[in-house]
Amino acid sequence: SLDIQVPNFPADETKGFHQVPFAPIVFIERTDFKEEPEPGFKRLAWGQPVGLRHTGYVIELQHVVKVRASCSLPTAVPAGAKILSLTELSH
């Protein structure tokens, strides 16, 4: 991987920089990608390459890998158990 120097506050580069590893596999936020974009969508989509900020690279979609997460939970919580939150995962 390659280390990229990224400003701590992009609007004010006098506030310093930090290193971010840049590897051959790139993970894209869901909101920055659409397989079937509506007109005017200006992020990553089929046939629509985008630049990666701070890297000098332009990427183009080659394939999509969707990751699924699942878990099993007990049907009842033991009496007195301290639960901070409950999360529902769907497939």
- Structural domain spans, the chain: 2-59
**Tens-digit pLDDT profile for residues 24-68:** 888 888 889 999 999 999 999 999 999 988 888 898 988 888 877
Would you say 49 and 59 are in contact if contact means Cβ atoms under 8 Å apart? yes
Can you give the pLDDT at residue 26? 80
Which residues does 59 contact at the CB level (< 8 Å), separation at least 6?
Answer: 26, 44, 49, 50, 51, 52
| Torsion angles phi and psi, residue 52, rounded to 5 | -100, 115
Tell me the CATH class for 2-59: mainly beta
Would you say 47 and 62 are in contact if contact means Cβ atoms under 8 Å apart? no
Can you give the pTM of this predicted structure? Answer: 0.60
Mean pLDDT value across the chain: 81
